[in-house]
């Protein structure tokens, strides 16, 4: 099972932190705090059916009708929502359509300052743009929010955009609890059977969209969105897999491109085995950086020999998985799920302290925290249900590639990759099995060139585990006109997390269309990385959101005292806003009345 590339989901501006800032601010000012829910099954996420309507060409798209979002957090943040009908088959513009869900934060600048819309994709495949913008809009620099409406969307088949479905929750849970990296004939047979079950469920539950889930289809939708927004040319920011959408758009619609930022680029040319190998090595390299930073920090829960403790934990879980009691039931933690949880934390340096605590907790008889990291990665909700991100990711990946490795070929790939990357190699190597028996013809990615498009800004992070820096170099070379901006830090993607050097370069390009000088490198902003854990990270972000530090500490410490550290960590990582909101409301009122 692949653990990358997943949507950008850092704690910076996360939904749960946005909710806490809103609640704590309103309570401390004496306003009545209403219960806030960020359920991914809210009315905003209502599954829409594919309506049979005639659709005009993108040049004739009608303007979007923006209304208040049904999601409480999005509405509280002043975001607006809309829907757009696009053809299921872009080559048949008058044929059946499917519905896309969109979200925007209107520009805060004057009419003279406004340039147009900045369309954003957080990655995936399978990432929700609605969820991302609700989480991250407040983190965008004011220069951008003055100049642009911030716009995002759920790509076709994802979340609120006519979501595709494969396994039901029970079947998904059963497969997840199995052996995800088979090393015996019996385990391999089970993995193949599971894959066939997955494909059969996709065909029966999502037949209408199954043949049109490729990145080229999404790029066509993106041009429909541009037209409906009233923009002559597209201004775009794509993270992770979103860089594939942007690169394909630059290649297919160069004349409609204004400015394209590709942050955390995918490879424009690698095979599935080459991708899995590069990612496995990327995670190994970032793990080494994590170990080095942990050993040098007295506050790290795994110091002073983090590598030995991680290896010992993996060995024990490989020999004997443990049973972990979680709010949604007792679950089995083996080495495969442990590796997924560890990899999840390596995406974002703000989670490194949490990873150390999670591993320590396993060694002392706990395991809830590592499962919270696993669930964050795989789209498992606090109630045990799953979002459809994994289903969408599989469909897009198989639609984009003509590769259909056999079980034996996947086994051989896994062995080769594990030899090069002992910790993450086997799990990522087995990801090549995901298109085994895929029944639909592929709509492979076009050869990336961007010929005729304006200069593209590619952003690469030296320590990016999920989209290795070499891929940013490959993308820059593939595009006819592109400049590479390098961030010398760790973690997945750089904009909004790599500091002023990165952010200023991206903002200047998007507004002024001026690219950085060739060879520009931005220093690592996190040389003084802290392993303080989620408590310190959330307090820091509440202070950045405008709360006095003393009040933020009082509120969060009170929540931890009331709920317990393990439950607090779970609520933050799993974005259980409804439960956390109740605790924050009570603690904020108490802290405010006490004068904190």
Map out the domains of the chain as residue ranges. 7-36+536-596, 44-165+210-269+447-522
**44-165+210-269+447-522 has CATH 3.30.365.10 classification:** no
Q: Active-site residues: which are they?
A: 240, 464, 492
**Average of per-residue pLDDT values in the chain:** 89
pLDDT, residue 31, reads 38
Going by pLDDT thresholds of 50, 70 and 90, the confidence category of residue 382 is: confident
pLDDT, residue 178, reads 83
User: With 90 as the cut, is the pLDDT of residue 595 above it?
Assistant: no
Q: Name, of 7-21, 48-62, 240-254, the range with top average pLDDT.
A: 240-254
- Write out pLDDT tens, residues 408-459: 999 999 999 999 999 999 889 998 899 998 888 899 999 999 999 999 999 9
User: With 70 as the cut, is the pLDDT of residue 9 above it?
Assistant: no
User: With 90 as the cut, is the pLDDT of residue 59 above it?
Assistant: no
pTM for this prediction? 0.90
User: With 90 as the cut, is the pLDDT of residue 35 above it?
Assistant: no
State how beta strands 97-105 and 80-87 pair. Answer: antiparallel
Between CA 390 and CA 136 the distance in angstroms is: 22
Between CA 42 and CA 103 the distance in angstroms is: 15
- Write out pLDDT tens, residues 157-196: 999 999 999 999 999 999 988 888 898 999 999 999 999 9
Going by pLDDT thresholds of 50, 70 and 90, the confidence category of residue 60 is: low
Q: Name, of 354-368, 423-437, 459-473, the range with top average pLDDT.
A: 459-473
User: With 80 as the cut, is the pLDDT of residue 518 above it?
Assistant: yes
User: With 60 as the cut, is the pLDDT of residue 470 above it?
Assistant: yes
State how beta strands 482-490 and 80-87 pair. Answer: unpaired
Greater confidence, 11 or 399?
A: 399
Going by pLDDT thresholds of 50, 70 and 90, the confidence category of residue 22 is: low
Between CA 193 and CA 187 the distance in angstroms is: 10
- Write out pLDDT tens, residues 80-109: 999 999 999 999 999 999 999 999 999 999
Least confident of 32-36, 440-444, 544-548: 32-36
User: With 50 as the cut, is the pLDDT of residue 142 above it?
Assistant: yes
Between CA 479 and CA 473 the distance in angstroms is: 10
CA angle centred on 405, ends 401 and 407, rounded to 5°: 150
pLDDT, residue 166, reads 95
pLDDT, residue 573, reads 87
pLDDT, residue 307, reads 98
User: With 60 as the cut, is the pLDDT of residue 510 above it?
Assistant: yes
Peptide bond into 125 cis (omega under 30): yes
Count of beta carbons in the 10 Å neighbourhood of residue 464: 32
Nearest alpha carbon to residue 493 among 592, 349, 371, 386: 349
pLDDT, residue 585, reads 86
User: With 80 as the cut, is the pLDDT of residue 27 above it?
Assistant: no
Peptide bond into 5 cis (omega under 30): yes
Between CA 219 and CA 247 the distance in angstroms is: 9
Between CA 129 and CA 95 the distance in angstroms is: 26
Q: Mean pLDDT over residues 340-348, rounded?
A: 95
């Amino acid at each position: 099972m692949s653990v990358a590339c997943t949507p950008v989901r850092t704690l910076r501006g996360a939904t749960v932190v946005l909710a806490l800032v809103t609640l704590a601010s309103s309570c401390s000012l004496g306003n009545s705090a209403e219960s806030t829910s960020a359920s991914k099954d809210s009315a905003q996420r209502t599954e829409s059916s594919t309506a049979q309507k005639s659709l005009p060409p993108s040049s004739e798209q009608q303007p979007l009708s923006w209304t208040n979002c049904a999601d409480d957090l999005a509405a509280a943040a002043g975001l607006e929502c809309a829907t757009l009908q696009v053809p299921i088959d872009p080559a048949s513009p008058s044929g059946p359509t499917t519905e896309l869900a969109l979200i925007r934060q209107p520009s805060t600048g004057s009419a003279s300052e406004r340039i147009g819309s900045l369309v954003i994709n957080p990655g995936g495949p399978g990432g929700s743009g609605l969820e991302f913008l609700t989480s991250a809009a407040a983190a965008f620099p004011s220069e951008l929010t003055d100049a642009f409406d911030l716009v995002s969307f759920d790509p076709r088949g994802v979340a609120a955009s006519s979501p595709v479905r494969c396994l039901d929750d029970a079947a998904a849970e059963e497969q997840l609890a199995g052996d995800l990296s088979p090393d015996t004939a019996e385990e391999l047979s089970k993995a193949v059977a599971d894959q066939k079950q997955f494909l059969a469920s996709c065909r029966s539950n999502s037949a209408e969209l199954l043949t049109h889930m490729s990145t080229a289809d999404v790029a066509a939708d993106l041009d429909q969105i541009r037209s409906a927004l009233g923009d002559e040319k597209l201004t775009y920011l794509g993270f992770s897999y979103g860089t594939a959408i942007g690169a394909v758009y630059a290649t297919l619609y160069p004349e409609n491109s204004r400015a394209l930022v590709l942050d955390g680029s995918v490879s424009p040319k690698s095979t599935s085995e080459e991708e899995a190998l590069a990612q496995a090595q990327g995670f190994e390299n970032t793990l080494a950086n994590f170990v080095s930073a942990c050993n040098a920090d007295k506050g790290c829960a795994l110091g002073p020999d983090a590598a030995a403790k991680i290896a010992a934990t993996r060995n024990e879980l490989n020999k004997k998985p443990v049973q972990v009691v979680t709010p949604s039931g007792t679950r089995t933690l083996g080495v495969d799920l442990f590796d997924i949880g560890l990899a999840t934390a390596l995406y974002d340096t703000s989670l490194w302290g949490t990873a150390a605590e999670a591993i320590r907790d396993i060694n002392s008889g706990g395991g809830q925290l590592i499962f919270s990291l696993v669930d964050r990665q795989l789209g498992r909700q606090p109630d045990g249900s799953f979002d459809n991100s994994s289903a969408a990711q599989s469909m897009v990946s198989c639609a984009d590639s003509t590769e259909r490795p056999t079980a034996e070929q996947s086994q051989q790939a896994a062995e080769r990759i594990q030899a090069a990357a002992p910790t993450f190699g086997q799990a990522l190597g087995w990801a090549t099995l995901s298109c085994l028996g895929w029944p639909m013809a592929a709509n492979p990615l076009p050869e990336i060139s961007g010929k005729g498009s304006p200069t593209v800004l590619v952003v690469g992070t030296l320590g990016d585990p999920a989209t290795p820096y070499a891929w940013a170099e490959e993308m820059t070379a593939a595009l006819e006109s592109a400049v590479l901006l390098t961030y010398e830090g760790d973690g997945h993607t750089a904009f909004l997390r790599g500091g002023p050097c990165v952010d200023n370069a991206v903002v200047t390009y998007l507004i002024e269309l001026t690219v950085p000088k060739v060879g520009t490198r931005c220093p690592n902003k996190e040389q003084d990385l802290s392993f303080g854990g989620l408590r310190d990270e959330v307090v820091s972000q509440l202070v950045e959101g405008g709360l006095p530090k003393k009040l933020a500490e009082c509120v969060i410490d009170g929540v931890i005292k009331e709920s317990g550290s393990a439950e607090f960590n779970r609520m933050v990582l799993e974005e259980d806003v409804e439960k956390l909101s109740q605790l924050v409301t009570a603690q904020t009122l108490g802290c405010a009345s006490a004068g904190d």
